[in-house]
Amino acid sequence: MSLKSIHHIRFFVIFISIIVAISGCQSIPNTTDKTGVLQKVLDHDQQLSKNTAVDVRQIAIKLDENAMLSESEAVLYALHNNAAFKSLLIDLKLAKADLVNAGLLPNPELLFAFGVTNKPYRYAIDLPIELLWLRPIRLSTMKHEADATAYRLTQSGLNLIRDVRISYAQAVLSQEQLRVAEAAYQLRNNIYKLSLKRLEAGDISGKDILLAQNDASTARRDWALAQYEVKIKMQNLLYLLGAGQKIQEITLSPNLVPACTANEVDQLISQALALRPDILSAQYSVNAAKEKIKLSKLDWLKITATADATSGEINGHTLGPAIRSTLPIANQNQGAISRAEAELEKSELNLEALRQQAVVEIRTTHLQYQQSCHDWHALQSQILPTVQQMMQLTEQAYQKGDISYLQTLEANRQIVDTQMREVQLKADLMTKLAELMRSSAKSNSVH
């Protein structure tokens, strides 16, 4: 091998080493894992962020022992056991794999042509060197994609919190409805018994007895249906907790009281636009789309460094460097560039749509929450005390025979309707508060 060939080989080896070293200087950035996403979810919730020391295993023990499970414990358990949410979290591993793949250095390729008669052997080693400027762009693109995935999953976690809180409230309130239905049955059954006594005294006719008996039977049917409703709401909650296969019933905290407090709507909107995970995810998607445009303008250029050994004049084996490059004569990757620009435009419009959606959601839910609060205060301060007093006076008057059965039935209907309305208003308040806090990306406890 000639001295000139040796010099070429050394130059080629040094050149390739420099390329690999420079490309490898940028390490693969870290991405958010499952624990990081769960922590982001907890940080968005004031009540849960105070209970991060709670061990999920202890909650599981409480479930097995049918001990009382608070709302916060139910939410924490769901975040770790809900099958649908756990399935979504696998996207973090996929994003990590894409990021690792973007940072991998390409393997060199070997061409070896065996020698035959009248043709000497030949070999060549090819190494793409466009990685020198493409690898950092690819890493940046996939890092933005991974961050977008992490924030999207954070929003999914907040959605799960909302669903669990609503389901928990519905399960608790269905038990309250059951108690109201039972009380309504007991009340109407007592009226039926009083009617029998008045019939014996000759104060009423047999027609009134049939009406009282029918009302008592109807109330008993409503009581039985309310028992089924409790089981249905419990199954919905167990599904969200991811415990429906091994547990059929859990004990819930009955102290579910409407909060009826909320920040100013403008403050909630500002908070949402700055902190809502789905908006942040869309912003990272925009950043990734911008990096894709850079990549599409460069990745058409393929440059390969080659170490080529062929027959020589002295010893039949001369190794020398070579370069092979793409010539942008037929096209300059216009299609990929246009697609990347369209994806950027779509990402920007999606970001703007999410911002507008957040504003509408918060304003609408805030008004609905205020409406429910107004109705709740009116019921508690004006309607419910009056109806309760009226019912007491009506029972006493009916027992003495001062009023008819129809008047008693109307009073009974009003008290039952009012109590049912109270339970329904609680459910509305819990639902609207959960929706409002999810929309503003900063949850508060409803207890």
pLDDT, tens digit, 9 for 90 and up, residues 43-87: 887 667 666 566 788 888 888 888 888 888 899 999 999 999 999
What are the pLDDT digits (tens) for 98-135? 999 998 888 888 888 887 777 777 888 888 888 778 88
Q: Which residues contact 159 (CB under 8 A, 6 or more apart)?
A: 438
Say if CB 443 and CB 437 are below 8 A apart.
yes
Joined tokens for residue 434: 């959960």
Distance CA(418)–CA(383), nearest Å, equals 8
Distance CA(368)–CA(380), nearest Å, equals 18
Cite the DSSP H helix spans in 259-333. Answer: 265-275, 277-296
| Residue 28, SS3 per DSSP | coil
Closest CA to 280 of 27, 44, 28: 44
CA atoms within 13 A on the CB side of 377: 8
Task: Indicate whether 253 belongs to any domain.
Answer: yes
Angular region, 241: left φ>0, alpha ψ -120 to 50, beta rest: alpha
Task: Indicate whether 404 belongs to any domain.
Answer: yes
Say if CB 126 and CB 306 are below 8 A apart.
yes
Task: Indicate whether 446 belongs to any domain.
Answer: no
Please report, for residues 166, 368, 386, 415, 420, the alpha-carbon distance to residue 379 in angstroms, rounded to integers and kept in the order given: 22, 16, 10, 12, 11
Say if CB 99 and CB 31 are below 8 A apart.
yes
pLDDT at 8 over 60: no
Is pLDDT larger for residue 201 or for residue 236?
A: 236
Mean pLDDT score of the chain? 82
Task: Indicate whether 302 belongs to any domain.
Answer: yes
Say if CB 59 and CB 173 are below 8 A apart.
no
Is pLDDT larger for residue 360 or for residue 12?
A: 360
Domain count, the chain: 1
Joined tokens for residue 82: 């809900």
The pLDDT-based confidence of 12 (bands split at 50, 70, 90) is low
Distance CA(120)–CA(317), nearest Å, equals 9
| Residue 240, SS3 per DSSP | helix
Window from 136-145, 191-200, 273-282 with minimum mean pLDDT: 191-200
Looking at residue 111, what is its pLDDT? 87
Joined tokens for residue 407: 């008047």
Task: Indicate whether 412 belongs to any domain.
Answer: yes
Task: Indicate whether 445 belongs to any domain.
Answer: no
Distance CA(203)–CA(278), nearest Å, equals 69
Please report, for residues 117, 153, 211, 247, 253, the alpha-carbon distance to residue 62 in angstroms, rounded to integers and kept in the order given: 83, 28, 47, 11, 13
Length of the chain: 447
Distance CA(134)–CA(213), nearest Å, equals 84
Q: What is the pTM of this model?
A: 0.82
Q: Which residues contact 67 (CB under 8 A, 6 or more apart)?
A: 251
Residue that is written with structure tokens 């020398």 in the block: 320
Residue 316 belongs to a domain with what CATH number? 1.20.1600.10
Looking at residue 1, what is its pLDDT? 46
Looking at residue 261, what is its pLDDT? 72
What is the spatial order of strands in the sheet that 109-113 belongs to? 109-113, 122-128, 303-310, 318-325
Angular region, 221: left φ>0, alpha ψ -120 to 50, beta rest: alpha
- DSSP for 392-404 reads HHHHHHHHHT-S-
Task: Domain of residue 372: give its range.
Answer: 3-107+116-440
Task: Indicate whether 447 belongs to any domain.
Answer: no
